[in-house]
Every structure is written in structure tokens, then in C-alpha cells.
Amino acid sequence: MSDARIRPRDRDAILQSLAAGVVPRRGQQHIQVGRALEVTALIEDLRRIADGGSAVRFIIGEYGAGKSFFLQLVRSIALEKNLVTVHADLTPDRRLHATGGQARTLYAELTRNLATRTSPEGGAMAAVVERFVSSALQEAKSAGVPVQEVIDGRLAGLAEMVGGYDFAGVIGAYWRGHDEGDVALKDAAVRWLRGEYTTKTDARRDLGVRTIVDDANVYDQLKLMARFVVLAGYAGLLVGLDELVNLYKLASTAARRSNYEQILRIVNDCLQGGVEHLGFLMGGTPEFLTDTRRGLYSYEALQSRLAENAFATGGLRDLSGPVIRLQNLTQEELFVLLQRLRNVQAGGDASQHLMPDEGLEAFMQHCSGRLGDEYFRTPRTMIKAYLQLLAVLEQNSDADWRVLLGQVDVEVDRGAEADLVPREGPDAVDDEELTSFRL
């Protein structure tokens, strides 16, 4: 175990996020264990995207199995490889296809979270456009030609794509704002690129363009953004979409089918090489994938494309297809995870560890006895309980982990299991955990 100190900011971000059952946005390297084969496969996808290709992956796992953490880890790797990333969770108000603004809302959330290596927390849209303009300025200066000529030449390829003419026009408007010191014009251009305009009239008045990002063109805008970030000097665009189970829970068959058709379009484009420098990561549950009544397998074209290798049985795996099923962590990997969490709690100082290895083994045995296979399938539950235990030990110097483990009561919430079956109404997307620990 490394004795390298962990910055308080990273320590707090990791502990607070995991204790709340959500994924930390920083410091993943301190707690990552296992998934070596999956990570290697995704790194190859990132290489393909940077080389001008495309990729699409469905990350499938049970609730609490680590899907969101895995997606965040891959995004972090993508940033280190000079890709731009965008990500969002799907909700009833954020979908891939809609007619009431939900798809545009998804796009706005994606672009709000647009991140680069220098801005990993998101909000980097203006910085990306500024980088494009700055590089155009340098090229124009070295070539002795007008900046507008360089910008027009770089953006010429976008005009051939759906919506590309107005996209290029918005970038041109940003340049004019930059050149003339018109902050309002620059802000308007960034707003348009983020999908924040809701009427074409406002966009035409502010920017002189006739279109806006709306429900009908979200995917086309993502393809344009992928091409643009490459022009700005990045390697490509990675789109992360989590909680796709919310599509599975849509009450309307027509709405589900429309969203699945959009997914089919993405799958076809990525697998057939119809897009450049663009990749998609989509996280969902096994039911979302394989349910032949409401899941992706209910759409025959998707089922044929996403069907897994029939020869990959008996412990054999094939990670070349679009579907990656997250395997359960082994006992050894779970033990290493607990060690790393203990080290994070201590800020990287081994002398401040609150429990010995003996205590970690006892905690795992306790979880196994109370939960059985659940603690392998859903490590989030175990992590939350472990951090609660460490918090008590940290704040009560006279507390003994042996005594505390004997007092833990495990309450199984059977109501949460019903959430795996789609429900009607506004509460149909509640993501409750299968099991909760209480000290």
C-alpha cells in the first residue's frame, strides 16, 4: 500500500461522495480496483476515437455494481488522452428523443458538463471555442492571411454536415465578438452551442442564424461538436450517458421505441464508421438490455446488434462487442478496495489507519454472512457501510471496531426490488438501493 499523501480536497471529495452513494468526480485513482480487462478494452476504444474512428459501448451491471464509477473512470482516462468529454444522466426530463424539449434538455446538460484535461469539472465550452479562435489567430499570423479566411477554411468541412452551416456561423459570430470586444456576442454564441436557446427568433436576432439545437437534431449536434473539438486541437469527443434504465421505465411504448430508434442510429453509425472522432458510453441495468418486452432487446434490430457472443461461456469473455457486463469483484479485489478506502480516510498516512487488516477481514466476513452474494454484486452498499464504520471510529477514539461489528443490523429493503419492474407515474425512476446498512 502506498504511503503517498492524499490531498485533503481529494480525500473529502471521495469520502463524501461514496458515503452518499454517488461517484466522486476526482481521486478515482486512489480507490480503483479490478476491471483491468474492461479498462484495457475501453482504452483501445479511446485510441480508435483519437485516430478518427468511433466507438459505442453499453456498460451493463446491477444497481450499485459500479457502473457510474466505471464510466467516470473512463472519462478521466479520456481527458488524460486529450479527448473532450460530455456526460449526463437520463431522467424523465432528459431523453435521447422527445417532442417536448426533453432531448434538448439532455443536450444542454451534456454541454454544461463538457470537460477537458485543464477543466475536468466541466463548464469548458467557452474555453474550447477560445482555443479554436486562438489557434486560428496564430495560423493567420504565421501565414500572413486574414483570420476570417483561416476560420472559414477550417469550418468548411462542417458545412457539409446536417446543421453545419449554422454551427459554423455561430463560431464565426464568436470570432467577431472576440475581435470587436463584444462580450455579449461571445456569450450568445456559447449559449447557442450549449443548446440554451429555446426560440429561433432569439437566435436569429442575436447571432443571425436560423436554427437552434432542438429535440430533432441533438445527435447531429453531437457529431458536429466532435468534429469541432478536433479542429480546436483535441483528439475527439466522448459522450457518457448513464441511468438509461429510465428509458426502460417509460410508460409510453411509443416513447420507448423512439428512444431505442435513436440508440439504433448511434449504434449503426459507430459500428459502421459513419462518424469520426466520436464515442458513446451508455450505462444501464441487465433488465434494460435484455428484457424482450420493454428493454433494448424488445427492438429486434438492436437485439441482433447487441447480442452477446454465444461462445463466451464458462468463464470465457469477449470484450470486442458493444456490450460489456461488469463482473463481480472478487474477494481479493474487495479486500484491496477496503484497504484503499482506509488509506483515503487516513489521508495516505499509514500511521493513521483506523482498522488493521484483521478488521477488514472481519468486516468482509460480516457482510458475507448477512448479505451473501449481494455484497459481491453491489459493492456500493458495502462501501457505504464501511465508511460509516470508519466515521464512527474516527470521531470516537474509545470505539472498538470489534464491538461495532457486533452491533450492525442489516435491513433488507424489499420494496426497492420492485423498482426493477417498471412503474407508472412521476416516481417511476426512483433508484433505491436493494440493501441498506444501519449502525
Domain range enclosing 99 = 35-123+235-325
Can you give the pLDDT at residue 195? 96
Three-state SS at 233: coil
348 and 312 co-located in one domain? no
108 and 240 co-located in one domain? yes
5 and 146 co-located in one domain? no
318 and 352 co-located in one domain? no
Alpha-carbon distance 268 to 305, whole Å? Answer: 9
Across all residues in the chain, what is the average pLDDT? Answer: 87
117 and 243 co-located in one domain? yes
314 and 366 co-located in one domain? no
Q: At residue 432, does pLDDT exceed 60?
A: no
- What is the mean predicted confidence (pLDDT) over 396-411? 76
Q: Which pLDDT tens digit goes with each residue over 224-235? A: 999 999 999 999
> Can you count the helices (H) and strands (E) in the chain?
20, 7
Residue 13 located in a structural domain: yes
Can you give the pLDDT at residue 210? 94
Residue 222 located in a structural domain: no
Q: How far is the first Cα of the chain from the last one, in angstroms, to the nearest whole number?
A: 28
Q: What is the largest CA-CA distance in the chain?
A: 77
- What is the mean predicted confidence (pLDDT) over 245-271? 96
Q: At residue 53, does pLDDT exceed 90?
A: yes
116 and 152 co-located in one domain? no
Type and span of the H or E element at 37:
helix 36-50
398 and 367 co-located in one domain? yes
**3-state SS track over 113-131:** CCECCCCCCCCCHHHHHHH
Q: Which pLDDT tens digit goes with each residue over 377-387? A: 567 778 888 89
Confidence of residue 376 (pLDDT cuts 50, 70, 90): low
Nearest to 188, CA basis, from 199, 177, 200 = 177
Alpha-carbon distance 425 to 412, whole Å? Answer: 25
- What is the mean predicted confidence (pLDDT) over 253-264? 96
Alpha-carbon distance 363 to 377, whole Å? Answer: 17
Alpha-carbon distance 60 to 155, whole Å? Answer: 38
- What is the mean predicted confidence (pLDDT) over 127-151? 94
Can you give the pLDDT at residue 297? 97
Q: At residue 240, does pLDDT exceed 70?
A: yes
Can you give the pLDDT at residue 125? 97
Contact present, 262 and 96 (Cβ < 8 Å): yes
Residue 23 located in a structural domain: yes
Confidence of residue 372 (pLDDT cuts 50, 70, 90): low
Which of the residue ranges 28-42, 125-139, 158-172, 411-425 would you say has the lowest mean pLDDT?
411-425
Which of the residue ranges 77-81, 363-367, 414-418 would you say has the lowest mean pLDDT?
414-418
- Give the pairing of strands 435-438 and 409-412: antiparallel
40 and 23 co-located in one domain? no
Final residue of a structural domain among 296, 325, 354: 325
Residue 30 located in a structural domain: yes
Contact present, 108 and 263 (Cβ < 8 Å): no
Percent of the chain's residues with pLDDT above 70: 90
Alpha-carbon distance 232 to 235, whole Å? Answer: 9
Q: Which residue has the cell 449526463?
A: 88
Confidence of residue 428 (pLDDT cuts 50, 70, 90): very low
Can you give the pLDDT at residue 30? 82
Can you give the pLDDT at residue 429? 35
Contact present, 234 and 124 (Cβ < 8 Å): no
Alpha-carbon distance 211 to 209, whole Å? Answer: 6
- The alpha carbon dihedral of 325, 326, 330, 333 has a sign of positive
Nearest to 283, CA basis, from 17, 38, 27 = 38
Q: At residue 1, does pLDDT exceed 50?
A: no
- What is the mean predicted confidence (pLDDT) over 238-255? 95
Q: Please list, in sequence order, all residues whose beta carbon lies within 8 angstroms of the beta carbon of residue 252, skipping any fewer than 6 positions away.
A: none
138 and 183 co-located in one domain? yes
Q: What is the domain-level CATH number for residue 297?
A: 3.40.50
Residue 428 located in a structural domain: no
Residue 431 located in a structural domain: no
* All cell numbers assigned to 434: 436493494
Residue 419 located in a structural domain: no
Can you give the pLDDT at residue 384? 86
Contact present, 161 and 173 (Cβ < 8 Å): no
Percent of the chain's residues with pLDDT above 90: 64
Q: At residue 421, does pLDDT exceed 60?
A: no
Beta strands in 286-354 (DSSP E): 323-325
Final residue of a structural domain among 207, 226, 247: 207
User: Based on the number of CB atoms within 10 Å of its own CB, is 88 exposed (0-12), middle (13-18) or buried (19 or more)?
Assistant: buried
Q: At residue 423, does pLDDT exceed 80?
A: no
* All cell numbers assigned to 13: 471529495
The answer, as to whether pTM is greater than 0.75, is yes
315 and 251 co-located in one domain? yes
Domain count for the chain: 3
Residue 423 located in a structural domain: no
Confidence of residue 375 (pLDDT cuts 50, 70, 90): low
267 and 340 co-located in one domain? no
DSSP state, 64? T
Final residue of a structural domain among 188, 207, 226: 207
Confidence of residue 373 (pLDDT cuts 50, 70, 90): low
Can you give the pLDDT at residue 418? 34
- What is the mean predicted confidence (pLDDT) over 261-265? 97
Alpha-carbon distance 146 to 141, whole Å? Answer: 8
